[in-house]
Amino acid sequence: MDALTFLLDVLKYTLSGFFVILGSYFLFKSQFDAYYNLKELEYRSSVLKDILPLRLQAYERMTLFIERINPSNLLLRLHVSGMSAKEMQNLILTEVRAEYQHNLAQQIYLTNDAWQIIKRVKDDTISIINSAVKSLPADASAVDLSKVVFSRLDSIEENPYELALLVIKKDIQEM
């Protein structure tokens, strides 16, 4: 009987110790989880505090980029009297590509959709200018190019530059 009593005592203490450890585990697990969640929230808020100004600046720069490569603005800004359509085309393409290269790093802070639309607007701008020059005679002036580009922009149902700006505004509101 002594062996049986001893085994029952060992079992009784072992089970009670097991339940104490199990209860402690669940008690401390919830506290550790709450602490971990709090630290994760603090980390995210500190990262957001650091990154938010950079993201806003990137969206601001891309808004400026879209406005600067809009043919309505490009043609007025770059026009020099007496310039041929071909010279104007070269100047515009150089300007668009330089602006794009200058803002290339901003894609890190933009959503993928916003960046794809910005690339599309850049490509569409180049395409509009190139196709307008192809439709003109070789001796056409920059003014002739401007007229063709403006008429093509007027024929587009939805202005791609305004749509790109709307996407940027939507992204900023969702931040």
Between CA 95 and CA 78 the distance in angstroms is: 9
pLDDT of residue 97: 94
Q: Describe the crossing of helices 71-78 and 142-155 by its angle, rounded to 10 degrees.
A: 170
Asked if 85 and 133 count as a contact pair (C-beta separation under 8 A), the reply is yes
pLDDT tier at 1, thresholds 50, 70, 90: low
Judge whether 120 lies within some domain.
yes
Judge whether 65 lies within some domain.
yes
Judge whether 76 lies within some domain.
yes
Judge whether 74 lies within some domain.
yes
Give pTM, 2 decimals: 0.73
Judge whether 27 lies within some domain.
no
Judge whether 36 lies within some domain.
no
Number of domains in the chain: 1
Between CA 73 and CA 42 the distance in angstroms is: 44
Between CA 136 and CA 164 the distance in angstroms is: 29
Percentage above 90 pLDDT, the chain: 45
Joined tokens for residue 125? 């701008």
Judge whether 151 lies within some domain.
yes
Enclosing domain of residue 165: 53-174
Judge whether 161 lies within some domain.
yes
Q: pLDDT tens digits, residue range 52-100?
A: 888 999 999 999 999 999 998 998 888 888 888 899 999 999 999 999 9
First to last CA, the chain: 74
> What phi-psi label fits residue 140: left (phi over 0), alpha (psi between -120 and 50 degrees) or beta?
beta
Asked if 96 and 119 count as a contact pair (C-beta separation under 8 A), the reply is no
pLDDT tier at 116, thresholds 50, 70, 90: very high
CB atoms within 10 A of CB 92: 26
**What's the rounded mean pLDDT across residues 155-167?**
89
